[in-house]
Structure 1
Amino acid sequence: MADYDVAIIGAGAAGLSVAAFAAQLGLRVALFERGRMGGDCLNHGCVPSKALLAAAHRAQEARAAGRFGIRLPPPEIDWAAVRAHVRGAIARIAPNDSEERFRALGAEVIRASAHFVAPDAIEAGARRYTFRRAVIAAGSAPAVPAIPGLAEVPYLTNETVFELEDPPGHLIILGGGAVGLEMAQAHARLGCLVTVIEAAPSIAPREDPELVEGLRRTLKAEGIALREGAALRRVEPDGAGGLAAVLADGSRIVGTHLLLAVGRAPRLAGLDLPAAGIQATRQGIATDLALRSVSNRRVWAAGDIADPQGLGPRAFTHVAACHAAIVARSMLFRLPARLDYAALPRVIHTDPELAQVGLTEAEARAAGHAALGILRWPLSENDRAVAEGRPEGLVKLVTTPRGRLLGASVLAPRAGDMAGLFGLMIGRRLPLSALAGLVLPYPTLAEGAKRAAGEFFLPRLLSPAMKRLADLLIRLP
């Protein structure tokens, strides 16, 4: 008889979700974690970054209060207090992910590094554990690129940047994706000089260029230097504890700190996957669309470390939760399950936020949708945005010619809060008329979504034929 019904490697977002569900079903669950409970999201990612951004946004609001007729002195940044706020946010959420909670749910939490020794066995802390089913949820780590000179200078990742006891004098960020841009704005608003180096022609290279341009203007207006299409040739020490980034064009950027934000790498090392016959790629554990290993039918993968065939990995906490639901359906109940990212949201949590659900215009065309409807509604036409003095932004919808929503892009304050509305539309394949006819409270930014959807029907409603029909009907008794 196996020691456990379900063995889970990794107590991050995905592993904890599976463990909680399986344990509450009364199954014998072993949860292996060598580091901090809660994984990257709680300790190094979503929670601390959003806490830091919250402090930074308050500082910026104080600077901008004059436009509302409120005179305030320039904000004074107490770095120690900002750090205390970040640590406090982590501490308040930590009990939800704690050993005590999961032991109370019935899981056995084993604080040791785990690796496979057989297709149905794991070794941890010099002890062997057998299982009926296993879930690999070991997550991912910050990617460290092979940059000449990197070994000679100190550098930061998302796992260390929140531990700085003093604010950076000049933070150089390598990578202009979500993490890089969020940390750039956070530190700039907290009084640091910031330079972002992005090798691609544009920051946020995956996002819709039309909306990226608006975000770019905001970041530049706040003093963030953006070096786009810039290849980094090497880094080297400069002065007392400083460093310099030397670009391919010969320019030299001198800073005090370097933050690497160029992506994630799956935590495969140390798992000894061959011992269990588990196939892996450079991107993670190879699975089918039910997240089951393609080579060991006892094993599933979830979260950043999963590499589902045809879809690839996604390093988002909400994807980890989605994966946990798929695993529960497939592994625990033997029900059909199939991962689908058609309505998957992603958000760059800057201010304004850039949210994307489904396909961008470029992605839709690349997917073979030659004929598209493009609907736009600028925030300058949204009463709530105007009232709050934030009229810069855009809602952009990508539809089929028949009015089915394929994707939505939003640049707006709290744009991520609209993502659920678009996700429901795409995921449930609701007609665009459902959004256009929705009654929303006034005034809200979400009205921009409704008004953009209404643009699909407006030309038909105001066509000459409809005008003639209205003229005829009004004459009837």
Structure 2
Amino acid sequence: MAAEMGLKVLAVESRNVGGDSSNTGGIPSKALLAISEKNPMMAEPFARINADINHIRENKLTSLMEKADILVGQGPAAFVNDTVIRVGDEEYTGKDIFIATGTRPFIPPIEGLDKVDYLTNENLFQLEAIPQSLTFIGGGAIGCEMSQAFARMGCKCTIVHDRPWLLPNGEKEAGELLQQGCEKLGIEVYNAQIITRVSRRENGNIVVHTREGLEIESEKLMVAAGRSYDFSSLHLENAHVDYGRKGITVDDYLRTTNKHVYAIGDCNGSYLLSHAAMHQGMLAFMNTMMMPPLKKKYLKYPVPWTVFTEPQVSHVGRTSAELDAEHVDYEVVETKYSDYDAAVAENKTEGYVRVYCSSAGQIYGVSIVGANSGEMINEWALAIQHDIGLYDLMMTMHSFPTMGYLTQRIGENWMMKKMKPGLVKRLLRFLF
């Protein structure tokens, strides 16, 4: 955006253009999911994925940066002072500097883990073949998505983690439905397990031991236990930029403790999602040009997320647990896929749309589990962002028979609940 507006821009990337999502995260993982669904017996799937990623990087991502100066693979950037960075032996000065360094896989301090060869999202797609068996440490998005992909391709998969349900940042019922979907694919799921150590058998297999007495043996082990920060190479102290265990400190406008330095995306710890990072980058750039009354507060924008499993799981806004913790009075309005004739006809009856709202229809949060939830959740994000209530969604005509029609049905169900009180019924009898 800055380069298109004629500003002089320098981008520094120590590894590959496109960052984690394009190279080792969302894009290759969705490619593997698509292969597992459409062609699970494909020979050398990882070679195909890497060829596509290289094509995207060389022909799409690089073209986006043509109007900017870009340094790739010449080493990480380090702050010299408030306005100067060093890359290799060269120094560069910028009026405004944006930190968008992302995160790396978190490696838990488990005894014996450093003695075995384990996978993370950074080397998963370098495999040459699908293993016979694979254990995932972690029941979040990466572990759930990849376990389903590998299971469809003939790998015996197991998920073990210390949280009470899968996708622990979401709703409990969503995690339970997802577990059922995993088990249908033959995936074994072990919740609330504390891993004490990892060992290797004489046959080369890896064993995960838990405090609860489990011993889970597999050919390969993948660590998908969250993300971690490493700012050591940046020398943030030289630029008077504060950071902590949960990332770089930013204000409402994404400025760090140095008002000319912004931290966007994973590195500020707010939302570890690539689309949140892209959105924050846009807001931060806009904020460099705006006077205080017009600056954009990034936390005012709700962040939808989707896990591309079977069933798909999506959410935006606050969860029921968050509302309970905040002592917010709310109603629950729900419709099930199994009650919708189009979903029945397409054999997509698993799941629900659930909305947490005020009695007047103000939307606090939405959880969708089921087909096309990743497409449907964006309308709910728009509604929350612009304070559009359930009445307006009900009065918005939705195309039928799409899954998105369930959004309108939620509005209808909410209105039906309002029609139940005796006073309303007596009024209607009087009028009609």
Query: With structure 2 as the length reference, what TM-score do the two structures score?
Result: 0.95
CA contact (8 A) 2:133 2:219 kept: yes
**Equivalent position of 2:220 in the other structure:** 257
Report the residue type matching 2:284 in the other structure.
V
CA shift, 1:404, in A, is 0.3
1:173-229, CA deviations, whole angstroms, 9 ceiling, x for partnerless residues?
A: 000011111111111111100010010121211211122221111111211000101
CA contact (8 A) 1:345 1:355 kept: yes
Report the residue type matching 2:237 in the other structure.
P
- Match of 2:234, SS state, is coil
1:463 & 1:244 partners in 2: Cα distance? 59
1:415-472, CA deviations, whole angstroms, 9 ceiling, x for partnerless residues?
A: 1111111001100001210111221111111122221222211033355444444444
**Equivalent position of 2:412 in the other structure:** 454
- Match of 1:422, SS state, is helix
**Equivalent position of 1:300 in the other structure:** 262
Report the residue type matching 1:415 in the other structure.
S
Structural RMSD (CA):
1.8
1:332-357, CA deviations, whole angstroms, 9 ceiling, x for partnerless residues?
A: 34442211256211111101110001
The reply on whether 1:354 has 2:287 as its aligned counterpart is no
Report the residue type matching 2:174 in the other structure.
L
CA contact (8 A) 1:352 1:414 kept: no
The reply on whether 1:38 has 2:50 as its aligned counterpart is no
**Equivalent position of 1:430 in the other structure:** 388
- Match of 2:85, SS state, is strand
**Equivalent position of 1:56 in the other structure:** 36
1:110 & 1:44 partners in 2: Cα distance? 17
CA shift, 1:88, in A, is 4.2
- Match of 1:191, SS state, is coil
1:367 & 1:95 partners in 2: Cα distance? 48
1:463 & 1:401 partners in 2: Cα distance? 13
Structure 1: runs of 5+ lacking an equivalent: 1-20, 60-75, 308-312
2:391 & 2:325 partners in 1: Cα distance? 26
CA shift, 1:78, in A, is 2.5
2:429 & 2:360 partners in 1: Cα distance? 27
**Equivalent position of 1:375 in the other structure:** 333
1:191 & 1:119 partners in 2: Cα distance? 53
In structure 1, which of residues 90, 105, 113 is the aligned counterpart of residue 67 of structure 2? Answer: 105
CA shift, 1:95, in A, is 4.3
CA contact (8 A) 1:99 1:109 kept: no
1:148 & 1:464 partners in 2: Cα distance? 64
**Equivalent position of 2:276 in the other structure:** 319
CA shift, 1:414, in A, is 2.1
Report the residue type matching 1:169 in the other structure.
Q
CA contact (8 A) 2:22 2:28 kept: yes
**Equivalent position of 1:126 in the other structure:** 89
Query: With structure 1 as the length reference, what TM-score do the two structures score?
Result: 0.86
The reply on whether 1:193 has 2:138 as its aligned counterpart is no
**Equivalent position of 1:72 in the other structure:** none
Matches within 5 A, 1:26-425: 26-58=6-38, 77-80=41-44, 82-95=45-58, 98-102=61-65, 104-109=66-71, 111-112=73-74, 113-294=76-257, 296-307=258-269, 313-334=270-291, 335-340=294-299, 343-369=302-328, 371-425=329-383
CA shift, 1:172, in A, is 0.5
1:167 & 1:263 partners in 2: Cα distance? 23
Report the residue type matching 2:247 in the other structure.
G
CA contact (8 A) 1:292 1:301 kept: yes
1:110 & 1:56 partners in 2: Cα distance? 33
CA contact (8 A) 1:173 1:196 kept: yes
- Match of 1:314, SS state, is coil
CA contact (8 A) 1:47 1:89 kept: no
Structure 2: runs of 5+ lacking an equivalent: none
Moved more, 443-452 or 372-381: 443-452
1:150 & 1:37 partners in 2: Cα distance? 30
1:94 & 1:272 partners in 2: Cα distance? 29
Report the residue type matching 2:53 in the other structure.
I
1:362 & 1:122 partners in 2: Cα distance? 43
Moved more, 155-164 or 439-448: 439-448
1:315 & 1:466 partners in 2: Cα distance? 46
CA contact (8 A) 1:344 1:423 kept: yes
Change beyond 3 A, Cα 1:382–1:39: same
Q: Which runs of 4+ in 1 moved over 6 A?
A: none
- Match of 1:253, SS state, is strand
CA shift, 1:25, in A, is 1.4
CA shift, 1:106, in A, is 3.7
Report the residue type matching 1:45 in the other structure.
G
